[in-house]
Amino acid sequence: MSVAAARACIFGVGGLALTSRERDFLRAADPWGFILFSRNVDTPAQVAALVAELRDAVGRKAPVLIDQEGGRVARLRPPHWRGWRPVAEIFDGRDEAVAREALALRYRVIAAELAALGIDVDCMPLLDLPTQGSHDVIGARALGTEPARVAERARVVCDALKAGGVLPVIKHLPGHGRSTVDSHEGLPRVSTDFATLDATDFAAFRPLAGEALGMTAHIVYEAIDAERCATLSPDCISLIRQGIGFDGCLMTDDLSMHALTGPMGARAADAIAAGCDLILHCNGDMPEMEAIAEATPRLAGQALARAQAALDARATPDAFDVDAAYARYLSLTGEDVHA
């Protein structure tokens, strides 16, 4: 399905169903995709109806994203969906092979729950490497602290999601683990030298550089660009493309986060100028979305090709026994049913 007319952005909406104003705006703006948050979630029937409403507004099967990592970051929760402990706990004291089996089962079950609602993109896995003294915004969300092992575990997550018909998003390029500030609240700065970053943070992403979707970090890496965060920095985007080798469709992290300042339209224009393919705006604020739509172009050139390639990567889920897989997962991890 072609997205040649779509605008290079992803929008959230305000509630459990579209307002008439939202519907009219989305029809005119025609964003590439949408993202759901807890404010958009009540029951499975309601979420599925909202997903259908969003797609109907743009007249195509636009991608619908969600942050369903499990643990602290989970938009779908009990009693309608399964609960999960932080992903880092899977690896505590367990044989690596057992832990990876549990990891694969966890994200295959999550994919099944998402696909049942029509959601086809999960903003997972993180490849961020937490370091001593870093902010806990990543913390137990991380898949580890050693680049090669994190990459291997992230590959398990990606494969499990894709088998379930859900596209993964690798994040937060080129690495959020050293941040001492939560980028939701302020602008982090990382002063680590380039050689160290290249051998650790950046190295974790290289084995996953072939994935279809990635997300930037709102972090200043002083060794690359001392003035602009990665999302807004041509030098950092070049590093993501050339140094890490990521050639997939690159979205910003949420432009409404407090790491960024200035008018919303200018943020969007600067991110596109830096080399991001898609603008992500999550809070559903209509004036902000209108400003972003005005400042964001329709997809064209390489951005269009990468966005189309991501959509073409969506696949029909493999046959899968969700209940048996979840039972096996519980036997491996000892988690409570409603963790």
Q: How far is CA 51 from the centre of its chain?
A: 18
2 pLDDT band (50/70/90 cuts)? low
pLDDT confidence of 121, banded at 50, 70, 90? very high
> Which residues in 285-314 are b (16+ Cβ under 10 Å) and which e?
eeebbebbbebbebbeeebbebbbebbeeb
pLDDT at position 280 over 90? yes
CB-side exposure of 145: number of CA atoms within 13 Å?
8
The DSSP 8-state label assigned to residue 39 in this structure reads G
Catalytic residue among 24, 136, 184, 312: 184
Structure tokens at 328: 């096996």
Cα-trace Rg, the chain: 19
Task: Clarify whether 253 is annotated catalytic.
Answer: yes
CA distances from residue 331 to 69, 98, 326 in whole angstroms, order as listed: 20, 11, 9
Any idea what DSSP says for residue 319?
Answer: P
Residue whose tokens read 């950092």: 236
* Measured distance CA(117)–CA(323) in Å, rounded: 17
Any idea which of 82-96, 180-194, 232-246 has the lowest mean pLDDT?
Answer: 180-194
pTM for this structure?
Answer: 0.95
pLDDT tier for residue 180 given thresholds of 50, 70 and 90: confident
Q: Which of 201, 225, 247, 253 is catalytic?
A: 253
Interval 215-268: pLDDT, tens: 999 999 999 999 999 999 999 999 999 999 999 999 999 999 998 999 999 999
The answer to whether residue 198 scores a pLDDT higher than 50 is: yes
pLDDT digits (tens, 9 = 90+) for 23-52: 999 999 999 999 999 999 999 999 999 999
Determine whether 267 is exposed, middle or buried from the number of CB atoms within 10 Å of its CB (0-12, 13-18, 19+). Answer: buried
Tell me: the pLDDT tens digits for 11-22? 999 999 999 999
Residue 211 neighbours by CB distance under 10 Å: 23
